[in-house]
Amino acid sequence: VTPGHRDPDSTDDEPRPAPAWDEVLAAARHDDGPSRVCDLLRVCETVITRAGLSGFNSMGSPRKDAQALVYETLAIRDHSDRFLDAVVTSVERAAILDLLERRVAGPIPVPYLTGQAFFAGRRFFVRAGVFIPRSALGYLLDEVLGAVAWSATPRLLEVGCGTGALGISIAVRAPGVHADLVDIDPLAVQVANENIARHGLADRVRSSVSDMYAGVDATARYDLIVANLPYVPDVQIGRTNREIEGEPQSAIYRPGDGLDHVRAVLADAALHLADTGLLVLEVGTFNRTGVQELVSGRGRWWTVGNQEAGVLSITRDELKA
């Protein structure tokens, strides 16, 4: 064949399928496989991406998943790139690749593998069976707290606290606040208590089991009530992203239109709020119309940048109007 001319029978130019995630992983286990931190980061990110996982309920992206798998295994807590060229020992490499395999084959979100989740810039314990903290509210904390009229004895209630990440993040930002974090799930309350201790807040934050407001001190009046309760209609079970399937259904789904818990938290909020109190709910962007009807168009809807956050705040006065 004359150089520059294609052999019509040649298949050289046909696109070859990219190696599948399990091929990349198997090759990485060879003796001459990746040996530096940067190599392991690259392999982890490629394997997670090739497996079709977005990481949305994990660390947020394949890249962040890769960083968490590598750096948590190497006990580098700040996930910074200080050690990109550092050599990873064979035993460390095997441990990282074992976690990677579990991440993808499950799929299991990284926080369930490492026991560590990150929310609003802080680190929280989490374990399988408890919702992995993530909420648009995490990006709005300072703005939302600016809208709270704290009393002389400031109090916060979180209904459906999961790991406690949201309530604890607020308590850290509002140093005088006493907070009650409740959840119907005893495992969530146990994890929340571990996080309260981890953040050194046991003197002013406590967590207990409660079905909505049922176990909440009826005489307490809260300046702020926050809730990110389950609000996805259960017809969506099995139809949403498969990555979500490892999380507890009771933390995500509700029957019918998905809004019974949102109705319940709205209905009795005025009984538990101080006169100038504020209720802040994450309800998901797709529920905005339904929730707007429930509150007769009152309240304020928040945005993160120019994106709708699916977060409503409403004062006690507006709730009673």
Ligand X SMILES: C[S@@+](CC[C@H](N)C(=O)[O-])C[C@H]1O[C@@H](n2cnc3c(N)ncnc32)[C@H](O)[C@@H]1O
CB of 138 or CB of 299, closer to ligand X? 138
Show the beta-strand stretches assigned E in the chain. 116-119, 122-125, 155-159, 178-183, 205-209, 222-227, 232-233, 253-254, 273-282, 300-304, 307-315
Q: Which stretch binds ligand X (CB under 6 A): 10-18, 63-71, 247-255, 299-307?
A: 247-255
Asked whether position 133 contacts ligand X by CB under 6 A, the answer is yes
278 is written with which tokens? Answer: 């504020």
Asked whether position 195 contacts ligand X by CB under 6 A, the answer is no
Helix ranges (H only) for 229-313 are 260-272, 288-294
CB of 90 to ligand X, least distance (A): 37
Asked whether position 161 contacts ligand X by CB under 6 A, the answer is yes
> Contact at 8 Å (CB) between 71 and 19?
no
Task: Pick from 7, 81, 211, 317 the residue near ligand X by CB under 6 A.
Answer: 211
CB of 44 or CB of 201, closer to ligand X? 201
Question: Of 135, 51, 40, 47, which is closest to residue 89 (Cα–Cα)?
Answer: 40
> Contact at 8 Å (CB) between 252 and 244?
yes
Question: Of 120, 70, 106, 91, which is closest to residue 226 (Cα–Cα)?
Answer: 120
Q: Which stretch binds ligand X (CB under 6 A): 54-62, 160-168, 195-203, 268-276?
A: 160-168
> Token match 């304020």: residue?
300
CB of 99 or CB of 137, closer to ligand X? 137
Main-chain phi, psi angles of 192, to 5 degrees? -60, -40
Asked whether position 212 contacts ligand X by CB under 6 A, the answer is yes
Q: Which stretch binds ligand X (CB under 6 A): 31-39, 51-59, 179-187, 307-315?
A: 179-187
Count of residues that interact with ligand X, criterion CB under 6 A = 24
Asked whether position 205 contacts ligand X by CB under 6 A, the answer is no
CB of 107 or CB of 164, closer to ligand X? 164
- Residues binding ligand X (CB under 6 A): 131, 133, 135, 159-163, 165-166, 182-185, 188, 211-212, 228-230, 250-252, 261
